[in-house]
């Protein structure tokens, strides 16, 4: 319990700032090959995802659940989009189909200019490996791997050399304030720490697109504030696109735009007032 | 079988049945009193059919192994019994002259001597009267039986040893009737003068048909008889080649009118039941026979006992070598239930959370386990019979050359024992693992958080360590005082384990404590023979039997797995370093190796199973291979001769060398040497030992034999510097003898169900190079009781098969029984290049009237070798069944892992793991465990085989330590391939997991 309290009081913002220095311009260039589009200025306003009339029906044999009923939306590069709505309205489902983890029942999704249905499972998987990061509500770390091993996994999947991967994983862990816990296993970390490992894992290969499904759902408000500070900072500094599902209006308020869903459809979609401070 | 594990079948069955029934009753009562628990537990069984099937399959393996070895044992016992009964039929007791050996000798030395064993026919009536009031006695009959060569003049074929039976037509009540193949009875009464019945075997052997004439050589002058009929059963007591005539005719032929040489007694009931009343009849006959020079022998009971002993010995071998697989099977049962508990953990946690008591949990789980065990033991015991049947088929093929009929048989009692034993073992494991499962932390169980490492500083732990050390010390001491290497080694090992636990308690890291202990144990158990001989107390030398193989196998496997598990991170690093450069492999490798390393319990159990079975298979290959080599050296087995032959004692060949010149088909010079044996029955015992002298057939070699023979000696009297010198001494020094290896005790006793030799020397061992001075055998002329001492000057090599137990020179034998004994056995050495088989045929044809039977020694050896290899292969196959256990464990673990890691697989897929990578990671994971287990097994097998083979080599000089690379490769390949096959399905399933769905549900 004391460990948890200690972690919660750590000023994440400062660490993020230090991390920003670590993740200097040189690093970005090194990573440029993996995400060439992200660097060109003119592409910045181009949509990274365009969804049109997306329907999703779960057919379990006994029941048919119409989880998405004609959702259309466009997400631009560098945007931070919050999705809100009551439980069961289809937020997770939307995230899953947009990220290609799940297939749509009808409608089209164009991912980075490529229609999703034209991509094979293999191609989509590779796309995820290279350009996407996931932050799940229930941290979903590999229990048998240490924190740093968890974080380096996406790099290894994307084909980095193991020594480079280890170095970058440690840097990213430092960025989220867990330099000292690098060799601990998830079971030995508190909830907030585990979530930060998940974030480090999602961000370690500088994905163009980060999906976060209730990333702060299981955390207390103070910790969740710290995490959000970290996310918005990364979004701003690296022009990464964030799509996050949340129940917390204060979390949603930190994004560029908030989408409200109800019964599988978008009820409202409007830009937030830019937060003044940072 | 009468005995299993040295316990009477009836007792074992009663005890096991009682245990089973008590267990069943307890479960039944509990189920009635906790119907809810019962339903909650049992509803899981039909709910998941596939899983239930898998569990049942896994649990049944131990039972199957029991059942299969019992069935094999039953079959062999039964076949032995059939053989024994075919020679005895209904005859339960035979009254004969006590002068068995003397009478044989008399017969040998001349026809007149036969009279000695005959007695007055009126004894039959006196026996009848003595047994009159015994309702169990069904019949008493007189018999004259003799053995003589029979020749079929037309086919020119002969049979040197045919049992001639003189049967009293009026006393056949209760005894076997002669029956033709079609079932029709043949009446002795209807035989006219000069007519006989012959057995089917004799008829086919020498080509006789009804109406044919045959010559019977009861004396030098043959008697001509006519075959009146051929019987397929009922000619008892006799060997397969027999001939029946009326009693009076037989009496006249042998010159014993009014006299007989046997009284037969049969009891009520069938052939086997008849043996039960033996004691009563023997007691009733005692007063009558006392001082008469006659004795009543319980022939039926003795034959059955011998049959059971030999068959049971075979079953013991199978159960022993199957022991490793059974041990692995028990581990599997444990593993399966632990995994089942892990799967139910959440359910159980919630049940606890809503107020269920711990004991309720145990019960719920036990109910479920009971259902699985019931099913598994049933399937296992029945399938085991099928496997046993298959093994019997192989054994039948193996023994085909020996004319040994093998009749499949299985006993309900064995099935019941296999079932209850399997059930009791399975159920005991179920209860233990249920109890273990019930001790869960509710919160951890519900949230599926791994259990923390147990604290090592508990009082209980300390007490356990202390107890372990104490038991270890006790065992060590008692091992020393009882001179049992097994106890001693077990005790010292427990001390090592206890010490490791103790220093760990004192703060030494696990890795250091356990690695040091594990390696110490390995070294300790694998010490080369030479080193252990040097450092262990001499009193313990060679006190271990075959059980040491079992114990040391288990111990080194435990030690090795222990060491490996606690150093797994090093292994992980090594593997990553080795394969980390392969593109796309690092992330897969990382996950696939980390899982087994983290789940120490599962991995350790699986490793233990696989390596245990691999280890036994490797050792078995070594043994097969080592022994295969000993057959190659024909010269060692044959003593330098190519053909051995025997003639009938009633018509010996007076001058073999001269006679050979006239044999068709043999050119002069084809046979370069002929040695001969005469042989005579004497009473003998080792000088200076207590006990009655036993019947011994002593062989006497002529000079030609001793000059040529090349058999080696395992031990020689100190005065003789070479093997040849011993042979020379046997020829030139009167009163000397050489003996076979089995007459001298071995330090390591490896005999299973074998008959003890008639003479057992003491004071030295087979392994000793020197025969002590003053080693004598006291041989006694059975007729007059005069004792003469034979000085033992050499112990023959184990493989000197054709010498008999005691071999002397012909003059020595003549001195012993004061009469020349004609030669009966011949040994021919051929000129190189002469076809032995053709020469054999020529000899048999040439010495037809002498009833010669000749055998090419090379062929005999090949037959032996073939049988031996087949039996070893069968044994290996049986042990290989254990591999299924290890592989099943891998499958179970993989299947379980797919369920457990659903969500994690979802994450990996989201992270960019391709399907193929997920599948690969599962396959790599099993491969890692399988290959590690295989490697450990092979390494340990290589280590222990050196000692095992070394031990054999001391006894069998031809045995060599040679690594059977090909076999090892095939074994490893097979084991690995099948492990891949079992994990392929779960791995595929894992790769098909839909990431979105896997991530949704926790
Ligand atoms: N695999 C599935 N099978 C059947 N129904 C599902 C499945 N996944 C989600 N649903 C249903 O779809 C609806 C939307 O679920 P979800 O997207 O998880 O909502 P949210 O994340 O907004 O709480 C719910 O009614 C849920 O029960
Ligand atoms: Mg959701």
Q: What is the pLDDT of residues B738-774, one digit of tens each?
A: 999 888 887 655 554 456 778 888 888 887 889 998 8
Owner of token pair 């690695």: B515
Look at A2 and B144; give whichever has higher pLDDT. Answer: B144
**Alpha carbon of A65 to ligand 2 centroid (Å):** 15
Is pLDDT above 50 for B504?
yes
The yes-or-no verdict on residue A185 having pLDDT over 90 is no
Per-residue pLDDT, averaged over B984-997, amounts to 88
Measuring CA to CA, how many Å separate A262 from each of A23, A53, A259, B736?
39, 15, 10, 111
Are B817 and B738 in contact by the 8 Å Cβ rule? The answer is no
B591 touches chain A (CB under 8 A): yes
Residue nearest (by alpha carbon) to ligand 1 atom 17: A90
Query: Residues lining ligand 1, CB < 6 A?
Result: A 58, 60, 65, 67, 85, 87-93; B 997, 1000
Flag whether pLDDT at B378 surpasses 60: yes
Query: Which 3 state secondary structure label does DSSP give B644?
Result: strand
Listed by number, the residues of chain B in 246-265 with a beta carbon closer than 8 Å to a beta carbon of chain A are: none
Tokens of B616: 């036994």
Residue (of B767, B605, B771) closest to B686 by Cα position: B771
Residue B139 near residue B266 (C-beta atoms within 8 A):
yes
Structure tokens given for A193? 């720490």
Interface test with B, best of A99, A101, A126, A151 (most B CBs within 10 A): A101
> A10 falls in which pLDDT band (50, 70, 90)?
very low
Substitution target from B910, B913, B928 for chain A, most A beta carbons within 10 A = B910
Better pLDDT: A195 or A277: A195
In this predicted structure, the answer to whether residue B187 has a pLDDT above a threshold of 80 is yes
What's the rounded Cα separation, in Å, for the pair B489 and B803? 40
Residues of B in contact with A156 (CB under 8 A): 586-587, 590
Check B911 against A162: CB less than 8 A apart: no
Residues of A with CB under 8 A from a CB of B: 92-93, 96, 99, 101-102, 121-122, 125-126, 128-130, 132, 134, 136, 138, 140-145, 149, 153-154, 156-159, 162, 165, 187, 201
For B136-277, where are the alpha helices, taking DSSP H only? 200-206, 247-254
Distance (Å, whole) CA A62 – CA A67: 15
Determine the atom of ligand 1 nearest the C-alpha atom of A264. 14
Distance CA B84, CA B275 (A): 13
Tokens at B322, concatenated: 């199957």
Of B908, B912, B996, the CB nearest to A158: B912
CB A205 within 8 A of CB A158: yes
Q: What is the pLDDT of residue A12?
A: 34
- Tell me how far apart the terminal alpha carbons of chain A are, to the nearest angstrom: 31
Q: Can you give the pLDDT at residue B865?
A: 78
What confidence score (pLDDT) does residue B1001 get?
58
On chain A, the residues whose CB falls within 8 A of the CB of B1002 are 138
Q: Whose CA is nearest to atom 19 of ligand 1?
A: A88
Of B341 and A1, more confident: B341
Higher pLDDT residue, A87 or B694?
A87
pLDDT-derived band at B2, boundaries 50, 70, 90: low
Closest ligand 1 atom to residue A245 Cα is 21
Q: Residue A121 is nearest to which of B576, B586, B915, comparing CB atoms? A: B915
| pLDDT above 90 (res A41) | no
- Give nearest CA residue, ligand 1 atom 1: B997
CB contact under 8 A, B911 and A128: yes
Give nearest CA residue, ligand 1 atom 7: A58
Question: Which residues of chain B neighbour A99 with C-beta distances below 8 Å?
Answer: 910
Q: For residues A5 and B465, what is the distance between their CA atoms, to the nearest angstrom? A: 39
Angle at which helix B585-598 crosses helix B915-955, to 10 degrees, equals 60
Q: A55 pLDDT exceeds 90?
A: yes
Residue A276 confidence (pLDDT) above 60:
no
Q: Which of these ranges, B109-113, B238-242, B513-517, B559-563, has the smallest mean pLDDT?
A: B109-113
Of the listed ligands, the closest to the CA of A265 is 1
Report the complex ipTM: 0.76
Exposure b/e, B266-288, CB count within 10 A at least 16 = b: bbbeebeebbebbeebbebbeeb
- Alpha-helix residue ranges (DSSP H) falling in B668-734: 703-708, 723-732
pLDDT band at A50 (very low <50, low <70, confident <90, very high): very high
Report pLDDT digits (tens) over A232-267: 887 888 788 999 998 888 888 888 899 999 999 999
A156 and B590 in contact by Cβ < 8 A?
yes
Q: Does the distance separating the beta carbons of B996 and A101 come in below 8 Å?
A: yes
Burial class of residue A25 (count of CB atoms within 10 Å of its CB; 0-12, 13-18, 19+): exposed
pLDDT value for A89 = 92
Give percent of chain B above pLDDT 70. 91
B39 in contact with A, Cβ within 8 Å: no
User: What is chain B's length?
Assistant: 1002
* Residue A20 pLDDT grade (very low, low, confident, very high; cuts 50, 70, 90): very low
Percent helix, strand and coil across chain B, each to the nearest 5 = 60, 15, 25
Q: Which residues of B touch A143 (CB under 8 A)?
A: 450, 598, 904
Which pLDDT band, with edges at 50, 70 and 90, does B707 fall under?
very high
B1001 at the A interface (CB within 8 A)?
no
The residues, ordered by sequence, that sit 6+ positions from B614 with a Cβ below 8 Å of its Cβ are B883, B886, B933, B934, B936, B937, B938, B941, B971, B972, B975
Return the SS3 of B552. helix
Q: Which residues of A touch B590 (CB under 8 A)?
A: 145, 149, 153, 156
Residues sharing a CB contact under 8 Å with residue B999, sequence separation 6 or more, in sequence order: A96, A101, A136, A140, B903, B906, B907, B910
Tell me the pLDDT band of A9, cut-offs 50, 70 and 90: very low
- Residue owning the nearest CA to atom 20 of ligand 1: A88
What phi and psi, each to the nearest 5 degrees, are found at residue B161? -125, 100
Q: Summarize the confidence of residues B179-198 as an average pLDDT.
A: 90
B915 interfacial to chain A (CB closer than 8 Å): yes
Largest separation between any pair of C-alpha atoms in chain A: 55
Is B441 part of the contact surface with chain A (CB cutoff 8 Å)?
no
Shortest CA distance from A155: residue in chain B: B587
Residue B86: its pLDDT value, please?
Answer: 80
Distance A67 CA to ligand 1 centre (A): 6
Collect all residues of chain B within an 8 Å Cβ-Cβ radius of residue A140: 903-904, 906-907, 999
Dump pLDDT digits (tens) for B843-873: 987 887 777 888 898 888 887 777 777 777 7
Average pLDDT of chain B to the nearest whole number = 83
pLDDT value of position B819: 82
Q: Give CA–CA dist B917/B39, Å, rounded.
A: 41
pLDDT score recorded for residue B397: 78
Do strands A106-111 and A114-115 pair parallel, antiparallel, or not at all (unpaired)? antiparallel
Q: If pLDDT is split at 50, 70 and 90, which confidence band does B452 have?
A: low
Closest chain B CA to residue A88: B1000
Residue B754: per-residue pLDDT: 54
DSSP per-residue letters across B498-543 = HHHHHHHHTT--HHHHHHHHHHHHHHHHT--HHHHHHHS-GGGTT-
β-partners of residue B146 are B164
Q: Which residue of B has its CA nearest to A207?
A: B911
Distance CA A253, CA A231 (A): 13
- Dist. CA B266–CA B175, nearest whole Å: 7
pLDDT of res. A14? 34
Over 90: is that where the pLDDT of A2 sits? no
Cβ A102–B913 below 8 Å, yes or no?
no
Q: Helices (DSSP H) in B245-357: which residue ranges?
A: 247-254, 278-289, 299-353
Question: Looking at residues B33-62, what average pLDDT do you find?
Answer: 81
Ligand 2 centre and the CA of A82: distance in Å?
Answer: 13
Q: What is the pLDDT of residues B527-537, one digit of tens each?
A: 887 777 777 77
Widest pairwise Cα distance in chain B: 105
Confidence at residue A1, expressed as pLDDT on a 0 to 100 scale: 35
**Residue A129 to residue B912, Cβ atoms within 8 A:** yes
B191-238 tens-digit pLDDT:
988 999 999 989 988 889 999 999 988 766 788 999 999 998 888 788
Region B238-245: what's the mean pLDDT? 87
A9-13, Cβ contacts within 8 angstroms, sequence gap of 24 or more: A10/A177, A10/A226, A11/A226, A12/A176, A12/A177, A12/A226, A12/A227, A12/A229, A12/A230, A13/A226, A13/A229, A13/A230, A13/A233
From B590, B903, B910, residue closest to A128, measured CB to CB: B910
Task: Identify the closest residue of chain A to B1000 by CA–CA distance.
Answer: A92
Q: Which residue has the tokens 């070394």?
A: B950
- Chain A to chain B Cβ contacts (< 8 Å): 88
Question: Distance between alpha carbon B322 and the CA centroid of its chain, in Å?
Answer: 11
pLDDT digits (tens, 9 = 90+) for B773-832: 889 999 988 777 788 999 999 999 877 778 888 999 999 999 888 888 888 889 999 999
Residue A51 has pLDDT above 90, yes or no: yes
**Domain parsing of chain B, residue ranges:** 1-87+305-449, 93-297, 457-583, 596-629+864-1002, 634-863
Euclidean distance between CA atoms B886 and B617, whole angstroms? 13
pLDDT at A6 over 50: no
Cα–Cα nearest to B553, from B873, B879, B66: B879
pLDDT above 70: residue B611: yes
Q: Which of B594, B999, B1000 is the closest to A145 by Cβ?
A: B594
- Tens digits of residue pLDDT in B888-931: 888 888 888 888 888 888 888 888 888 888 898 889 888 888 99
Cβ contacts of B906 on chain A, cutoff 8 Å: 140
- pLDDT reported for residue B544: 60
- pLDDT of amino acid B441: 65
Q: Rounded mean pLDDT of B88-109?
A: 71
**Atom 2 of ligand 1: nearest residue by CA position:** A58
Lowest mean pLDDT, pick from A14-18, B578-582, B588-592, B698-702: A14-18
User: Rounded distance, CA B518 to CA B498, Å?
Assistant: 12
Question: Distance between CA B381 and CA B387 in Å, rounded?
Answer: 10
Q: Summarize the confidence of residues B40-52 as an average pLDDT.
A: 80
For the CA of A90, the nearest ligand:
1
pLDDT in tens, B387-444: 888 888 877 777 776 666 777 887 888 888 889 988 888 888 888 877 777 776 666 6
Q: Which residues in chain B have Cβ-Cβ distances shorter than 8 Å to A145?
A: 590-591, 594
Q: Residue B701 — φ and ψ, nearest 5°?
A: -95, 145
Closest to B368 in 3D by CA, of B61, B62, B67, B59 = B59
Domains and CATH numbers, chain A: 2-45+76-105+119-271 (3.40.50.300)
Q: Ligand 2: distance of its center to the CA of A264 in Å?
A: 12
Give the ligand 1 atom nearest the CA of A95.
Answer: 17
Buried b (16+ CB within 10 A) or exposed e, A227-262: bbbbbbbbbeebebbbbbbbebeebbebbbbbbbbe
């Amino acid at each position: 319990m004391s460990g948890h309290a200690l972690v919660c009081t750590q000023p994440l913002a400062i660490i993020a700032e230090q991390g920003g220095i670590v993740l200097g311009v040189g690093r970005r260039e090194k990573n440029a090959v993996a995400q060439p589009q992200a660097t060109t200025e003119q592409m910045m306003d181009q949509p990274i995802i365009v969804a049109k009339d997306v329907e999703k029906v779960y057919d379990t044999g006994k029941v048919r659940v119409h989880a998405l009923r004609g959702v259309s939306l466009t997400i631009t590069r560098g945007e931070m989009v919050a999705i809100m709505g009551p439980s069961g309205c289809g937020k997770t489902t939307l995230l899953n189909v947009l990220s290609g983890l799940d297939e749509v029942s009808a409608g089209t999704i164009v991912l980075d200019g490529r229609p999703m249905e034209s991509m094979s499972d293999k191609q989509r998987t590779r796309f995820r490996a290279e350009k996407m990061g996931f932050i799940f509500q229930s941290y979903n770390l590999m229990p048998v791997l240490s924190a740093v091993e968890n974080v380096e996994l996406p790099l290894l999947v994307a084909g980095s050399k193991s020594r480079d991967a280890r170095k970058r994983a440690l840097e990213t862990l430092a960025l989220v304030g867990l330099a000292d816990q690098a060799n601990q296993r998830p079971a030995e970390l508190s909830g907030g720490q585990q979530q930060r490992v998940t974030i480090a894992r999602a961000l370690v290969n500088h994905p163009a697109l980060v999906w976060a499904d209730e990333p702060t759902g299981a955390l207390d408000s103070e910790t969740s504030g710290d995490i959000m500070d970290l996310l918005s900072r990364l979004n701003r500094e690296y022009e990464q696109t964030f799509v996050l599902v949340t129940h917390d209006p204060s979390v949603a308020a930190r994004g560029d735009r908030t989408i409200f869903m109800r019964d599988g459809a978008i009820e409202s979609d409007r830009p937030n007032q830019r937060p003044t401070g940072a | 079988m009468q005995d299993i594990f040295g316990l009477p079948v009836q007792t074992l069955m009663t005890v096991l049945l009682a245990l089973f029934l008590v267990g069943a009753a307890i479960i039944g009562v509990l189920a009635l009193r906790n119907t809810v628990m019962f339903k909650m537990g049992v509803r899981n069984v039909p709910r998941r059919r596939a899983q239930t099937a898998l569990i049942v399959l896994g649990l049944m393996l131990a039972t199957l192994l029991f059942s299969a070895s019992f069935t094999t044992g039953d079959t062999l016992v039964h076949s032995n019994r059939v053989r024994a009964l075919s020679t005895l039929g209904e005859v339960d007791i035979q009254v004969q002259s006590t002068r068995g050996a003397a009478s044989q000798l008399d017969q040998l030395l001349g026809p007149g001597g036969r009279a000695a064993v005959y007695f007055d026919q009126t004894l039959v009536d006196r026996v009848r009267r003595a047994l009159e009031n015994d309702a169990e006695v069904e019949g008493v009959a007189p018999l004259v039986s003799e053995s003589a060569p029979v020749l079929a003049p037309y086919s020119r074929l002969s049979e040197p040893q045919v049992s001639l039976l003189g049967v009293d037509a009026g006393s056949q009540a209760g005894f076997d009737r002669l029956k033709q193949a079609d079932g029709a009875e043949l009446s002795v009464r209807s035989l006219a003068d000069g007519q006989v019945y012959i057995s089917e075997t004799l008829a086919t052997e020498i080509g006789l048909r009804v109406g044919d004439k045959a010559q019977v050589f009861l004396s030098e002058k043959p008697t001509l008889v006519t075959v009146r009929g051929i019987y397929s059963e009922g000619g008892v007591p006799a060997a397969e080649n027999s001939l029946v005539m009326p009693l009076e005719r037989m009496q006249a032929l042998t010159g014993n009118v009014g006299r007989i040489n046997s009284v037969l007694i049969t009891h009520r009931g069938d052939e086997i039941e008849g043996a039960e009343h033996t004691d009563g009849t023997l007691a009733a006959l005692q007063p009558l026979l006392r001082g008469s020079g006659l004795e009543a022998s319980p022939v039926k009971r003795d034959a059955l006992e011998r049959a059971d002993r030999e068959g049971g010995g075979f079953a013991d071998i199978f159960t022993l070598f199957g022991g490793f697989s059974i041990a692995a099977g028990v581990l599997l049962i444990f593993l399966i239930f632990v995994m089942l508990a892990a799967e139910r953990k959440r359910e159980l946690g919630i049940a606890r959370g809503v107020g269920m008591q711990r004991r309720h949990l145990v019960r719920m789980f036990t109910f479920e386990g009971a259902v699985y065990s019931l099913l598994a033991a049933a399937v296992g015991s029945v399938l085991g019979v099928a496997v046993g049947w298959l093994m019997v088929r192989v054994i039948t093929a193996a023994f085909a050359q020996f004319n040994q009929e093998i009749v499949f048989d299985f006993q309900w009692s064995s099935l019941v024992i296999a079932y209850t034993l399997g059930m009791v073992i399975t159920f005991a494991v179920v209860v233990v693992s249920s109890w273990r499962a019930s001790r869960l932390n509710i919160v951890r169980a519900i949230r599926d958080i791994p259990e923390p490492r147990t604290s090592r500083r508990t009082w209980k732990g300390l007490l356990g360590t202390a107890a372990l050390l104490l038991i270890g010390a006790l065992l060590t001491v008692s091992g020393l005082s009882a001179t049992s290497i097994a106890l001693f080694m077990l005790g010292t090992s427990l001390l090592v384990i206890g010490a490791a636990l103790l220093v760990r308690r004192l703060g030494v890291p696990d890795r250091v404590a356990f690695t040091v202990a594990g390696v110490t144990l390995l070294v300790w158990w694998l010490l080369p023979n030479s080193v252990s001989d040097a450092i262990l107390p001499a009193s313990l030398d060679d006190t271990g039997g075959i059980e040491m193989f079992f114990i040391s196998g288990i111990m080194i496997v435990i030690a090795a797995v222990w060491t490996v598990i606690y150093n797994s991170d090093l292994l992980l690093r090594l593997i990553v370093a080795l394969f980390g450069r392969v593109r796309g492999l690092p992330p897969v490798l990382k996950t696939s190796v980390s899982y087994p390393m983290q789940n120490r319990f599962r991995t350790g159990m699986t490793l233990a199973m696989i390596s245990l079975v691999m280890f036994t298979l490797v050792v078995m290959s070594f043994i097969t291979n080592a022994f295969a080599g000993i057959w190659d050296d024909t010269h060692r087995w044959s003593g330098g001769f190519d053909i051995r032959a025997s003639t009938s004692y009633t018509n010996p060949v007076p001058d073999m060398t001269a006679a050979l010149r006239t044999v068709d088909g043999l050119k002069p010079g084809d046979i370069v040497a002929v040695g001969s044996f005469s042989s005579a029955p004497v009473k003998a015992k080792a000088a200076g030992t207590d006990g009655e002298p036993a019947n011994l057939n002593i062989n006497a070699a002529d000079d030609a034999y001793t000059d040529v023979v090349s058999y080696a000696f395992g031990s020689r009297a100190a005065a003789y510097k070479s093997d040849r010198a011993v042979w020379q001494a046997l020829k030139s020094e009167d009163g000397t003898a050489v003996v076979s290896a089995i007459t001298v005790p071995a330090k390591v006793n490896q005999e299973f169900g074998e008959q003890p030799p008639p003479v057992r020397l003491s004071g030295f061992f087979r392994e000793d190079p020197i025969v002590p001075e003053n080693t004598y055998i006291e041989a006694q002329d059975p007729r007059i009781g005069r004792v003469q001492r034979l000085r033992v000057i050499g112990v023959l090599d184990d493989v000197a098969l054709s010498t008999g137990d005691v071999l002397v020179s012909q003059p020595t034998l003549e001195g012993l029984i004061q009469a020349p004994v004609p030669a009966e056995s011949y040994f021919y050495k051929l000129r190189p290049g002469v076809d032995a088989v053709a020469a054999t045929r020529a000899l048999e044809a040439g010495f037809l009237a002498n009833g010669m039977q000749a055998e090419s020694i090379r062929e005999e050896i090949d037959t032996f070798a073939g049988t031996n290899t087949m039996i070893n292969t069968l044994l290996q196959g049986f042990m290989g069944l254990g591999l299924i256990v290890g592989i099943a464990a891998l499958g179970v673990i993989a299947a379980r892992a797919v369920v457990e890691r659903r969500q994690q697989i979802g994450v990996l897929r989201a992270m960019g793991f391709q399907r193929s990578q997920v599948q690969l990671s599962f396959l790599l994971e099993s491969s890692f465990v399988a290959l590690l287990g295989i490697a450990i097994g092979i390494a340990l097998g290589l280590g222990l085989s050196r000692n095992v083979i070394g031990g054999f080599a001391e006894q069998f000089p031809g045995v060599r330590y040679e690594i059977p690379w090909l076999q090892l490769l095939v074994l490893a390949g097979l084991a690995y391939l099948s492990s891949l096959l079992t994990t392929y399905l779960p791995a595929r399933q894992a790769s098909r997991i839909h990431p979105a769905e896997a991530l949704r549900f926790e």
